[in-house]
């Protein structure tokens, strides 16, 4: 029997304010890398909920997704294990709230940074994902889709 290919589903917050994009610097098996506030979708949550949760955990700011920027596929071979991983990323733009002073950054997150598009492009050698620039470029181009495009069946929360 052939093993079924299963991509890792991730959600990412594409957050822009005053011409700068919010990225996180995080520890990875390849050292310190930059990424969008992003992470794996958890069991029982919608992509919109997962994106809001990941943004809060990685930045301490509340985040309300308002639009889908895009759906992306990428593939990597992990340098530490040799594992071949395909990621299916749903990237959302939205409204960033204030920081919650009672929270701390998620484990592995060193700091948050506000970067201009040129700074993001120039730091590509430090990116955790090749999708960081692509998501930003799509956002800069005005690419936005209604959240209703991403439907979450109630069975996700309440399995049959």
DSSP string, 93-120: EEEEEEE-TT--PPTTEEEEEEE-HHHH
Torsion of CA 83, 113, 109, 45, to 10 degrees: -80
Provide the pLDDT for residue 30: 87
DSSP state of 37: S
Do 51 and 11 touch, CB atoms closer than 8 A? yes
| pTM for the model | 0.93
Please tell me the total number of residues recorded for the chain in this structure.
Answer: 160
44-71 pLDDT per residue, tens:
999 999 999 999 999 999 999 999 999 9
Which residue's structure tokens are 């955790």? 128
Q: Please tell me the predicted confidence (pLDDT) of residue 160.
A: 72
User: What sections of the chain are H helices per DSSP?
Assistant: 47-59, 117-122, 131-140
Residue range 120-156, pLDDT digits in tens? 999 999 999 999 999 999 999 999 999 999 999 999 9
> Average pLDDT for residues 9-22, to the nearest whole number?
98
Identify the pLDDT of residue 67: 98
SS3 133: helix
Give me the pLDDT at residue 1, please: 61
């Amino acid at each position: 029997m052939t093993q079924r290919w299963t991509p890792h589903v991730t959600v990412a917050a594409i957050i822009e304010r005053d011409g700068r994009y919010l990225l996180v610097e995080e520890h990875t098996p390849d050292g310190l890398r930059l990424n969008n506030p992003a992470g794996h979708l958890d069991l029982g949550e919608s992509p919109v909920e997962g994106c809001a949760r990941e943004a809060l955990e990685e930045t301490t700011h509340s985040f309300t997704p308002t639009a889908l920027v895009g759906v992306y596929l990428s593939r990597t071979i992990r340098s530490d294990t040799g594992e071949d991983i395909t990621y299916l990323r749903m990237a959302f733009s939205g409204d960033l709230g204030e920081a919650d002073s009672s929270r701390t950054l998620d484990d592995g997150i060193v700091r948050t940074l506000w970067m201009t598009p040129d700074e993001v492009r120039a730091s590509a050698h430090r990116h955790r994902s090749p999708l960081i620039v692509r998501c930003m470029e799509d956002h800069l181009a005005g690419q936005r889709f209604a959240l209703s495009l991403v439907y979450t069946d109630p069975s996700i929360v309440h399995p049959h």
